[in-house]
Structures are given as structure tokens and as C-alpha cells.
Amino acid sequence: MKTMYRLILEYFTKEIKGATTSVFIEEIALTDLATSSRDEAREASSVPQTMPLVNQLNSKPQSSIHDIQSSIQRQVISHMGGKNSKKAIVLSTAGASAITAASSTAMLRRERMAENYLVIWVDGNIDMANQDCQNTMEQLRAVVNEVKPCETAEQCVQMLMENQEEISFVISSGALGQHLVPDIHDMAKLNAIFIFCGNKQRHQEEEILFSMHTVFRIGEVRKLDNNRALYQVDLKLTSDDDSQLRELTDYIRQEVNGTGWRRMGQLLLKIGQFDKAEELYLALLEQASDDSDRAYICHQLGVMKYSQGQYEEAVEFYEQSLKIEQKTLPKDDPSLAPTYNNIAQVYNDMGDYSKALEFYEKTLKIDEKGLPSNHPDLAKSYNNIGQVYNNLGNYSKALEFYGKDLEIRKKALPPTHPDLAIPYSTIGQVYNNMGDYSKALEFYEKSLEIRKKALPSNHPDLATSYNNIGQVYNNMGDYSKALEFLKKDLEITRKTRSPDHPDFASTYSWFGRVYRNMKDYSKSLDYFQKCLTIFQRTLPERHPNQAITYSNIGDVHRLMGDYEKAISFHRKALNIQENVQCNPLECATTYINLGETYRQMKDYTMALTYYQKGLEIRENKLPKSHPDLAVVYHNLAKLYLSTRQYNMAMKNVQQAVEIAQEKLPSNHPHILEYKETFEKIRKKM
């Protein structure tokens, strides 16, 4: 105890050199920071540093008492002159020798400073009955006007709030300082914070590296040791003139609300640290003392499970949260909207679109009643309903709701906010489904541009953007470009998702489609099988996505000449699609694939039956010039050619060629294929 009190006094009466912002006192030697990298960081940020990382420091000779008196005098004079950058000073007793009482109180009193300074000494172990403590307090009071001891962080905060002095200092123990500094470092009247620790090495490792509020762009995150959770994060310091990033950071800082552990949990979810978030929330759930806390934590656990693709567990947590909330709240209470929304989101991803629409509409009803017309939550409701309509193949309705979403977000969000990328992406998806590939690419690239500016280079949302763009290039017939973007998607997904995450299934599915179009059927089948394996582990047995995969596998078997297997997989697909609510266009694709299988088996009657079923749905759901209609017309042309109905064959192939020339690039493989069929029919007439 003696050493601690004397070290505090000895340090407090020493000079802080220049821009020094963090020091150790060890064996009564003053050390300072002298690293060019930190100087550069200070120059790049206008925000005062508060808790910089303490590097290995070089000792200076011990100062005499006279030097100490001069030092504190110069320090106070510099403060009076306006040099009031706030500091967090770290003191260490590690290896410190005891200090004798040789310092002269009388000499300190003769050099006493101005009367408008306050020192607050906060330590749970202060013992005013201890003689050494009394001596230290007396000597501190000889240097400054007033010294107030307290035992808790709360008392310290209260004293600072009540303080009318111009300059205040806080001396804190290491244990209390960890929790105290974030609460007080922005207080205007507080000039410096002295953190006294017993373990120098520990604080060397744990102190914050840069100025408070300093902003960096994340370059790359690399795992350094496969046997330990050791990562290297490459950071690029931003300057004050990076206005877009500063605006985005300020917005996100406000967006992550709440206090304490709630705020930490939200931040962990925001940055994709789902395992850490789960660990935190489960611990908080065990300690929850009332229904309000339990409802909130269950809701956050639902968010976490959904983000990991564990949909059934997500629904369970959301419904637990809703059940607790409904005990005390009316059914249209605004605080129920997030839970309704998230339940709907899970049902949508599980393929239960009627349930999804039911809960999304509950959310929208609450939002339209209680929120301003440009509120971001209202935008999210519009987007979510648009997504259901998109999944159901109702593209005009989808565009209507997505358009409302985009208009709100453009007004409410900074131009580089990652949430602004969402409506651009979803609108791109609709145009892709409608066969307007140039429009789709335009919106997807806008979404990608925002995400590149706002997110780390390995963020899952970037993977989604790369996947979307890969899809468009596949549909446009540029298969090398498609593979280029899909490989970027896969690289990120491998780093950020568990092996069974649905995002892997989507990526594998599109690899399968591209390789199928490239006629590499073994690779195609391999990727579709990987996709199916994940869906079978993570989705309900009759999920629409499983049906799509069955149909894709069946189509590859057709192309490989194994027609029996092809029919078997198409039947599995139809068994789901004809018995659950799904996008009718997906069912149409299976009908057409099945028709093509029967055509190649020369069962033209069955082939025509399935072609007509698929064509009827596509003509009802798609624009008249959609490339998917051209596929059916071309298939019909080949069937009529085989049955020698040349006029019908010519009519259908002409429709196929016209649509393809209007909608597809001039070098698209489909155009070449349709023209070849046209020539064959023309020669027969």
C-alpha cells in the first residue's frame, strides 16, 4: 500500500512531456512514448487520444523533488494556456521500490499552484486510517486545491458532475479504471485520468490502441495460427477528410443503441461475431431478472440463430420472445413489430410464404400506424413484403414494394450505409428474374459499390453481391465471368460461414448451373449434390429449395443421357412443388425439364403435355419477351420438327429467335442454338 500511495504522489508531481499520452512509473522513473506510428495516428485524427496502447518504454533518470515541483507547475500552466488534451495515464507498481518520506512537504507548499484544481482519488481499498495514505493525501493537497477520495466508480462520476472547478484529475485503481474510463473520458471538466495498475504487462496488452473514435478501414483479417484463435487484422487509418466514412461511422454509432452488455451484444451481431454473441446472450439469459429482459434476450438469440441459418431454432427463440411480450402488450403495440418481422423473415426463408406474408403484414400495419413516412423500419417492412412477392413470382408487386423501400432509404441513410445496398440488390434480383439482365446488372453493381465502401473485404454481404452478379453473367451466357464472381463469393463464404450454412448451398447451386451450361456435367452434378446435402441437413423436407435442386439434378442426368434418373428426380421435385406453396415459375421449370426429358426419349405426347403446362405458367407470370419463354418456344420447335409439323416448328422457333435477339447478348449460346434450329426447320419446309 505504501508503494502505491507514494507512486501516485511522485507521478502526479512529474512533468508530462509534449504530446505524451501514456506512461509507466516503474522504480520511480518517468518514461515517455516515442513511436512514429503513434505520432502519425495523432496527426491523422482530430480527436484527443485517451487510452493508447502502451509500448515498451525507455526509462529516464529519477527527478529530484525540485524538478517535480517545477514539472507540475509547468503542467498546470500549460493547462491554463489551453493545452487540455485529455489523457489516460497508466502507472505500474511492478518491481517498484519503496519511496522514503524524504520529500519535503514544506517545499511543496512553497510551490503550491492555483486554487482551482480538483483531484478525485477512486479506489475500493482506500484506508484513511493508514498513516502512509494520510501522508500521501496531505502531500497531494499541498500541490492542488482539493483532493477527494471515493471508493466506487459511481461516486467518482457524481463528484465530476457536481464539480465546478476548471480542471479536474482522476486517479483510479486498475480494476476500477477499466470500467470508469469509458463513462468519464468525454466529460468537459476532466483533464486527465491516472490509471494505477499492478500488472504492467497486462495493461500493455489490453489498452486501446488508438484515439477514441478513430476510424479505420479493415483491409484483411487473416488467421495466423490454426491451433489457436489468433488473427491478424490489417487496418488502414483514415483521415479527417474521409467524410463518407465519418458520416457512416457516426450513423452506426447511433444505430447500436442501449447500454452495457446489450450494446455489446448488438455490436457483436452487427460485425458477424455470432458465436461470441450467443455466448454473451446465453449468459445474460441465465441472469435475467424480469420478463422484459428475457423477451429481449430471446429475441436477440433468434437474430443470432437466423444469421447462422438455423431457422427452426430461430423461430423457437422468436416465439418465446413474442409469448413473453404478449403477456403485457396489446397485439398492435409498436414494440411487437420487430418480433413479428423476424418471425416472418424466418418463415420466408423456410419457404412458408403464406405465414411469412401474415407476419410481415402485421409488422407493416404497426409501422404505418406509428412511424413517420420516411422511417427506416418502414422501408424494411416494404422490402420484406416485396421479397415474398418476388419468391411467389409476382414481380410487379415485388417492384412496387422494393421501390418504396429504396425511396425511404435514399432519404434516411448516408450514401455509403450498407443498408442502402439492400434495395438495390433486391430490385436487381427482380429484374434478373424478369429477364432484364442489363437492368439487373446495373442495380447489383450499385449494391456492390456501396458494400465495398462500407464493409470489410470478407463480409458475407459482399459474397451475396458477387453471387448475384455471377448469376446475371450466367444468364447472359458469359460463363467465365460468372465463374469469376462465384469464386469470389465462395472464397468469402468459406471464411465466414459454417460448412452447413445455406449460403454455401446457394453458391454451390450456381456453380452447378454454370458448369451445366458449359457442358461439364460431372462438375455440375457434384455441385448440385453438395447443395442438396446442405439443404437436407438444414431445411424442412418439403422446402421449395430442395425441389429446385432435385429438378437441377434431374436435368443434368438428362443431359448425361440417364433419362430414368432424370425422371425420378423431376418427380421428387414435383412432389414438393405441387403440394406446398412455392413460386409457380419454379414448378414451370420442372415441367419444362420433364418435357425435355420425354422429348429426348421420343415420347412426344408426354413431352408436349409438360411443355404446355410450363408454358402456360410462364406466359401468365413473365413479360412477353422474357428469355425463359424463348427456351420453351425453342423446345416446342424441336418437338414439332421431330413430328414433322414444320409450320408449328417455324412459328415457335421464330418467337424464340426474336426474344433472344432482343434480350440476350449477340454472342449468347442460346441465340446460336436457336438460329441453328431455325435453319434446320427452314431446310425441311
Please give the average per-residue pLDDT across 139-156, as a whole number: 80
Judge whether 327 lies within some domain.
no
Predicted confidence at residue 533, as pLDDT, reads: 95
Predicted confidence at residue 15, as pLDDT, reads: 36
Over the stretch 53-73, which tens digit does the pLDDT of each residue have?
A: 222 222 333 333 233 334 334
Please give the average per-residue pLDDT across 369-375, as a whole number: 88
Predicted confidence at residue 308, as pLDDT, reads: 74
Q: Which of 3-7, 149-153, 561-565 has the highest mean pLDDT?
A: 561-565
Q: Pick the residue with more confidence: 443 or 244?
A: 443
**Pair 420, 446: CB distance under 8 Å:** no
Predicted confidence at residue 152, as pLDDT, reads: 87
Q: Pick the residue with more confidence: 101 or 379?
A: 379
Over the stretch 263-312, which tens digit does the pLDDT of each residue have?
A: 777 777 766 677 788 888 888 888 877 888 888 888 888 888 887 778 88
The whole domain housing 47 covers: 2-206
Q: What's the pLDDT band for 33 if we cut at 50, 70, 90?
A: very low
Over the stretch 230-268, which tens digit does the pLDDT of each residue have?
A: 556 666 656 555 666 666 666 555 554 555 566 777 777
Judge whether 134 lies within some domain.
yes
The region of weakest confidence among 10-24, 264-278, 299-313, 542-556 is 10-24
Judge whether 60 lies within some domain.
yes
Judge whether 459 lies within some domain.
no
> What are the helix (H) ranges across 333-478?
337-349, 353-370, 376-391, 395-412, 421-434, 437-454, 460-475
Predicted confidence at residue 247, as pLDDT, reads: 64
Q: What's the pLDDT band for 618 if we cut at 50, 70, 90?
A: very high
Other Cβ atoms less than 10 A from the Cβ of 180: the count is 21
Residue 44 has pLDDT above 60, yes or no: no
Predicted confidence at residue 218, as pLDDT, reads: 63
3-state class (DSSP) for residue 457: coil
Residue 492 has pLDDT above 70, yes or no: yes
Residue 51 has pLDDT above 70, yes or no: no
Residue 22 has pLDDT above 60, yes or no: no
Residue 658 has pLDDT above 70, yes or no: yes
Other Cβ atoms less than 10 A from the Cβ of 565: the count is 16
Judge whether 461 lies within some domain.
no
Share of the chain above pLDDT 90, in %: 41
Predicted confidence at residue 504, as pLDDT, reads: 94
Over the stretch 500-541, which tens digit does the pLDDT of each residue have?
A: 888 899 999 999 999 999 999 999 999 999 999 999 988 878
Q: What is the mean pLDDT of the chain?
A: 77
Torsion sign over Cα 649, 650, 655, 661: positive
3-state class (DSSP) for residue 330: coil
Residue 589 has pLDDT above 50, yes or no: yes
Name the domain count of the chain: 1
Judge whether 159 lies within some domain.
yes
Order the strands of the 190-197 sheet from edge to edge.
87-92, 190-197, 167-173, 117-122, 146-150
Predicted confidence at residue 518, as pLDDT, reads: 96
Judge whether 35 lies within some domain.
yes
Helix (H) / strand (E) containing 126: none
Q: Pick the residue with more confidence: 124 or 177?
A: 124
Other Cβ atoms less than 10 A from the Cβ of 77: the count is 12
Other Cβ atoms less than 10 A from the Cβ of 638: the count is 20
Q: What's the pLDDT band for 331 if we cut at 50, 70, 90?
A: confident
Please give the average per-residue pLDDT across 597-612, as a whole number: 97
Judge whether 115 lies within some domain.
yes
Q: Pick the residue with more confidence: 129 or 420?
A: 420
Q: Which of 94-103, 125-134, 380-389 has the highest mean pLDDT?
A: 380-389
- Model confidence, pTM: 0.55
Predicted confidence at residue 374, as pLDDT, reads: 86
Q: Give dist(CA 661, CA 55) in Å, integer.
A: 67
Please give the average per-residue pLDDT across 375-380, as a whole number: 88
Predicted confidence at residue 47, as pLDDT, reads: 29
Grid coordinates given for 493: 463464404
Q: Give dist(CA 53, CA 233) in Å, integer.
A: 16
> What are the helix (H) ranges across 476-562?
479-496, 502-517, 521-538, 544-559
